[in-house]
Structures are given as C-alpha cells and as structure tokens.
Structure 1
C-alpha cells in the first residue's frame, strides 16, 4: 500500500489538566492544581499520529533539531508511534513547544516557547522518493517555514499533477501551491486570507480561484463546513450529531479533518465526498475527547497516584451502570476488547494506554465458545471467569464483561463508549464494530502493539 505523507511544522504539545477552585493572593488569577500532564506531538506531528490511526503506512516530513525538546518529541514517536517514518529536514533555532494550562475542561492560558524555523537547506534524497510514492499528501502548515522551502514547494507542485494534495494553511505560512486537490482553512483563517468577502460560500469560492485549487473547504466547527469547487458549487456540509463527553476540546480537529480528507482522496473519493467524510471524522474526534486520545500521561513530581487499587466491576449490567455514571459526570468512557488469553506485557501496555485516553476503561472479553471459534480447538487456555478476574485486578481497568458473539458489536450497541481501542495493524474499516461505534458518536483508536508478544505465540512456544 502506498504511504500517506504528512508534511509540515512539528512541535511538542503539553497539556496541564487540573482544577481551579481559588484565586491567587498575588493577583486576580486562578490557581490551577494539576491532576494530569499530557504530552503529544503537535502540528504536523499530531497530523501524522492521527493518520497512523487510520492508515497502515505514514511518512512525516518535518523540520527537526537535536535539542532537549526535540529529543522528547523524537522519543514520543519512537516509543508510541514506531510505525510513523519520520524524515527530518534542518531546523534553525529551538524546537517549538506549546503548553496549555486547563482547568475544568477549559483553557486558562497557553505558553509558546521556541523560535524554530525550517532552514532552506538541501533536502535528504528520501524526501523526493516519499513524495513520488505517496497515495496522498497532507500539508499541515503551522507557519514555521517548512512550506516555504523552495525545493519542497517545487516537488509538491510536481506531485500535485498526479497525487492528491490537501493543504491546511496558516495565516503566517506560505501560500498553497497551485493544483492542490483541496485547501482546508478554518473560518478565521479564510477571513484573514480574504478579509473583504463576508459570505462564507463566496469566501470559499474566491479562495479556490485565488489559490487555483481543485476545491476549498472552509471548516466551521460544530456547524460543519462550506465547500466550493471548480464547478462553482457552494455547498454547506452539515456536521453530524454526536454523543460525545460533556467537555469539548477542539484541539487537533483541523488536523483530523485534513488527514481524513487526504485519506479519502487517496482512496479515490472526489473532493466533495472527501470533505463530507472529513466533517464526520472531525466531529467524532472532538466528541471522543479530541487530542487527549493521542496524548501520553506524564508523572507529576510529588503528586498523587490517580489510579485505584479497587477491583473493577464485572458483568454486563454492572459495566452498563458504570458507563451511565461516567456519562452523567461528563466523563469519557473508553472500551477495548479481545480474547485476552494468557495476559502478557503487550496486553498490559495496551490497557494502560487505553485507560489514559479517558476517565474509565471497560474491557469486553470473548466467551470461551467464541474464543474456540476464533482461535481453534485447545483455546482458550484460561477460562473466561479467570480471564475476567485477572483483568479486573489491574488498576487501569474499571470494568470487565464477557460477550458470547464473534464480534463485540452487540455489546457495543449497549455500552456506547466514546472511544473504542484496538491494538495491532487494523484499519478502522476492517473492524466490524467500527460502524456501531461511529453511529453512537464514538471514535475508533488504534494503538501499536508490543512486538514479539502474542498469546498464540506464547502458547505455541509452550507446546514445543
């Protein structure tokens, strides 16, 4: 399969999540007491992470420098997203980091640090090959110079003649190249680029003509998007209703939109079809908690352990009651599922990463009979009751239930999680339960597995 190429400026995003119940005595500002600190790749790095959740092969072309923040960013890719192939071009200055302080689900302040800007130096040879072999190219411009690189722009213009290019522009970034299949500014960016046009439909059409693009789609947040193409169509794409958590963080929604559009174009969709699917994908992304779903939790020095030693609830009815409590509090319900025969390191890492995505984790496990149908005679090695008991003892698991069907789709119809996690090399369309999760406003998240760990391999090794 041809890779999906993400090109643009990367940075390190850090979110400090906490509560603010008092004002500082020094000034009338809130005092935020942190509960969790999240970190993740930002900018084009976040776009690449989101792409890796839906596409098996992703290449990220970005500017990088070997400074402390840059090493942290590189470490996140190596540890959590090894499937993303990163091609670095030189960066002048320091790696950019953006720190958001949040309380009660709302941003209090953002701190930007770093002066990095892509250097206009010769490109590594692998950049050319990656662009030529791409299924589609998604440009995530964050105004830090990658899209101004002279040689890169020439390569992109050549690629756009036969490969769909989606360009997410930035007010401080470079002008989109001619021939983009789709350009995706948000409403504020669109008004910046064409301040004298007030009608959104006319604005999309004017920008399409100015940029000589196949189509322009102005994203409007919860109101969907306004689409215009060469046929002078101006169409309002309505965002679907979603049933996500009470809090809403739109961070990363634009990246999710452009990645979804590029993926659809690479699979043969036309621009309007791609934009429509992208609106739906971005809506589900925000409803499922936004960028927190691809963030890693950092320890708080001297802080309390937020995990619990209490045993998880077991049984479908108890799990459904837990889900109702989480939703009532405005929390994010995460679920995952599988056989979980012979629990191993790969399972534990997946479960911990899944738990970090929300406020409660429910594990759905196959019954003994369904395991036999899936894995064959001699399986499971561990009966369902024992598998459930071991999983419930893990501090990262809040609930365990057994389902008897081959697929967890029926259980998910009742559970309706905000996030459904699977590990391995699936794509969302390969999972039979994807339709159920999306229909209830949820998001499917694919997390990498630990190489070398498999229940089937462990059982086979024991048999030898």
Structure 2
C-alpha cells in the first residue's frame, strides 16, 4: 500500500498479473457506480457531416461531399464527463456556452447522456463547436466556431460559485483545458486550492505553455507535444523531455506528472523516484481524437477509487486502446474497459465466475452493448458430453451464455448425501474454462427462479425430458417476451450413469 498527499491508503496491484486484474475488474464493477467526478473546463459541441465524394466542384478545385448523415456529440470537457458516465460513475460538468442553438443542443445531449450539466450561458460569445465534414472515414475539412477571449469577470465568479456548490458531493475533480478561455490562472488556482482543502484528487488535462496555473494539482496529464511546449523544448528526444518533465513535479508541487506518449504508452514521473512506463497496447487505430479525454476520465476514477497511480495508468492505457479503434470522439463504456482488461491480462476464466451482484452489473453492460442473454442451469456434477452438447446449443441461441449451477448443499438435497462428486468451486471453474460460457453463478436454492427473475434472460434453455410447463422460470421468461428452448439429452450420457459404472468397477 502507499499513501497519497491526503494520507488516504491506496490500493496497489500489479495490473498486469491475473490476480491483480481480477481484483481491479471487481472494483470497477462494484465501486465505480458510487463515484462522482466534477469536470470543469472548455465544453464544446462536436458536429459531423458524413457523405461521399463523387466529383470535384466546377466552382473551385475542391471535392463535393454528398451529405448522407449528420450527428452531434459532446466534445472537450463535455466528452470527459461523458466518458465518466460511460465508465459507470456520475459526472457533473461546469463550463461556458453561448446563448445559442449549439449551447442548447449540447445541454440536451449531456442530459440525455446522464451528465449533470451546469453550463453557464455568456451573452455575445458563441458555444465552441467543431464541424467535421467526412467522406467515409476521411476528414475533408473542419470548421471551428469559438472565442478564446476572456469572459466578463462576473461569469468567472459564477463558475467558481457553481464549483463550490458541488465540491462536497465529488470524489475527484478534473480541469479539462482546451485553451478556450474558461480556465484562466485565477480560476485554476482557486479550484485547485478548494479541492486540496477538501482532500480531493485534482487532475489536469493541460493546454498551452503556462503550467504554473496548475500548481498544486495532484497531477497534470500532458501529451508529449504539450510537455515540450511547457518546457520550451519542442525538438527534444522522448527521454530528454521526460527527464526535464521530472523536475516539474517538485517545481509545481505535484504528486506526479502523467505523460501520454501516443504509440509509446504512458509515463508516470515522480520527483525522487524512477519513472514508471506503461507500454502501449497494440490496437488498430482509426482515430485518436478524444483519447486524451478517455485517459483523464479513467485516471480520475481510478485515483479517486484508491488505485495507485501506476495501476491507474495501466487502466487508462487499456481504455485509450479501446477508443482509438472508434471513429470520432466516442466515449468509452465500462463493459468495453472490462472486456479489454480481461483480454489483455488473460483473466477470462477468473472473471467468468461471478456472484449475483456482479453478474447483474455484467448483464447490464452486455445489454448496453446490444447483446442478448441465454440462461441454463443444472448441477453439472462430473462434466460429460451431454453437458457440452447442451452448452454448445445454448451458445448458438444468443450472444452471451450464463450458466447457473446448484450449490453443494442444493445438490445434496436434490441428489442425496453422496452428491456432489465435484465441489461447487471446482464445477464453476471447469464450466468457466469452456469457450461456450460467458458467466457462471452458483445458487443455493432448490430452483433458480430467483436468479432468473433477477437476470431476466432473453432465452431460457433446459435439457432433458422437460416440457415448457415443467421448466422452472418458463412462464416468467415468456411474460417479458423471452423464449424457452428444450434441448434433447444425449442418450447414454449422464452423471448418474457414470457414477453407476464406477460403482460396478469398484465392486469388481
């Protein structure tokens, strides 16, 4: 364990290990629902017109884009807030908009996205927006509408007042600076001072050369180019920039400096300790826009949850690998981070065995991604070809397969005192190792009806000589529009027959 500047005990894991990743996934799914991050900074509206180019304009040597789709998304600090909500936590965002249509659209998008939007309209200034025109995935041109001038003094006072209203509800603060005039030095220092007094971690995504305005923050998170500008060393090598950046930690009274290195990963710099480097995860890159927003959101949630900065950097690195595979500034979702972390660390078997609370979180994440859930249940005592056939059939009926297994106590009550042959933990682990299964959950009752009612699967499957009238949960599944499927048993294959054969051999 380690201590942060407030004396809070910090979790410490080697995020690359199987056991550590299992614990981190558990904390993400269990704890992040209760976290609340306050984002302050330059909000903007990202607008997209997508179409195709088939000819050059006769008026000028430029392509003519035949528009087919228009979309709008929260950008800048607003996208940071959307990432936090996507990761399962609560977010409030404070910033300036104009008294215009774009400001109203941005507010509506944030509210629909589940963000608490505290956007302050400033007369005679436009809402910052970026209009991108694309042909396929290729950007043709971008039109920016913005002002970088300072707002009236009253506007900044109102912003600080709004921040102070929410600080006591927050678990962490992000300053998202896109150099559009929201985060002037006075605002930055006031918020940083208030956050430190409240014992909250405060993370900064910076712009420009003046890092002094961020003095006293927990960390500043520049990319390599931004660090070079702040150091007036834009031509330096990566190592020389990181060496110089290490001196900024003490100079700016930071806990550490977190530097994103693009294809080289993330570096964490401490004042009196060796740098910590997280190498990038190899991914197909479609668009790096918005990756910094995802990194700062993931770092803030991780640090506010008590993760060490090294583990927070691991998670942020995995999250960045997800969003660069998307087109445009699209926020990450918690189920995507969990899936990527499981894939990266090889913890899939561990992460398939869940209690009911974590299964319901996982199910919500699957459904948010558009997946249907299949459920089956049984004792699965001594796994045999009949079981495998059932599970493979189940897998073809939907996107995700959840297997409920009777606990040892439940099996004994159903099958007799000599059963089960294999304990519930071993049975669960064997089932989790199968490619067909996505989750395994143990239930104590004689029937899985409570589990079915909580999970609400789209498909309920049972093997054997059942009819729909005799399958537990069938009426309930049909009541919410689900299907009930019966898979015939494989003749000659059952746990009972295996036990009898073994008994005959023992007697011989």
Same fold (TM over 0.5): yes
Number of the residue aligned with 2:122: 91
1:115–1:236 CA distance, 2 compared to 1 (3 A): same
1:277 pairs, out of 315, 319, 333, with: 315
Does 2:165 match 1:134? no
Matches within 5 A, 1:42-441: 42-78=75-111, 80-82=112-114, 84-92=115-123, 93-115=125-147, 118-121=151-154, 122-123=157-158, 125-148=161-184, 150=186, 153-161=189-197, 162-171=199-208, 175-196=212-233, 198=236, 199-242=240-283, 244=284, 248-289=286-327, 291-292=329-330, 363-367=371-375, 369=376, 401=398, 403-406=400-403
Partners of 1:143 and 1:173 within 8 A in 2 = no
Distance 1:47 1:173 in 2: 22
Deviation digits for residues 229-255 of structure 1, max 9, x if unmatched? 12242233201223x5xx611111000
Q: Which has the larger radius of gyration?
A: 2
Distance change >3 Å, CA 208–CA 278, structure 1 → 2: same
For residue 118 of structure 1, report the CA deviation from its aligned partner: 4.3
Change over 3 Å in CA distance of 1:30–1:182 after alignment to 2: same
Q: Secondary structure at the match of 2:276?
A: strand
C-alpha RMSD over aligned residues: 3.6
Q: CA deviation at 1:403?
A: 4.9
How high is the TM-score relative to the length of structure 2? 0.57
- Cα distance change of structure 1 residues 102 and 88 upon mapping to structure 2, 3 Å threshold: same
- Residue in 1 aligned with 2:59? 26
Distance of aligned partners of 1:74 and 1:232 in 2 relative to their CA distance in 1, 3 Å threshold? same
Distance 1:412 1:22 in 2: 53
- For the 8 Å contact 1:157–1:178, the answer to whether it is kept is no
SS in 2 for 1:6: strand
The whole-number CA distance in structure 1 between the counterparts of 2:168 and 2:434 is: 41
SS of residue paired to 2:191: helix
Distance 1:33 1:133, change over 3 A: same
Aligned to 2:504: none
Q: C-alpha displacement at 1:261, in angstroms? A: 0.6
* Cα distance in structure 1, aligned partners of 2:241 and 2:120: 37
Give SS of 1:11's match. strand
Shift of 1:12: 0.7
Q: 1:118 to 1:213 in 2, by over 3 A?
A: farther
Q: Deviations over 1:370-403 (max 9, x none)?
A: 6xxxxxxxxxxxxxxxxxxxxxxxxxxxx98365
Q: How far, CA to CA, are the matches of 2:276 and 2:185 in structure 1? A: 34
Distance in 1 between residues matched to 2:220 and 2:293, nearest whole Å = 12
Q: Whole-Å Cα distance in 2 between the matches of residues 7 and 414 of structure 1?
A: 45
Structure 2: runs of 5 or more not aligned: 1-33, 334-365, 378-395, 405-430, 439-454, 456-475, 481-508
Q: Quote how far apart the aligned CAs of 1:151 are.
A: 5.2
Q: Which digits, 9 at most, give the CA deviation of each residue in 1:248-293, with x for residues without a partner?
A: 1111100001111111110112223222321221112212445246
Query: Could you say what secondary structure the match of 2:87 adopts?
Result: coil
Distance 1:15 1:412 in 2: 43
Give the number of equivalent residue pairs.
326
CA distance in 2, matches of 1:50, 1:256: 6
What SS does the corresponding residue of 2:324 show, helix, strand or coil?
helix
Give 1:404 deviation, angstroms: 4.3
CA, structure 1 residues 149+20, in 2 after alignment: closer, same or farther (shift >3 Å)? same
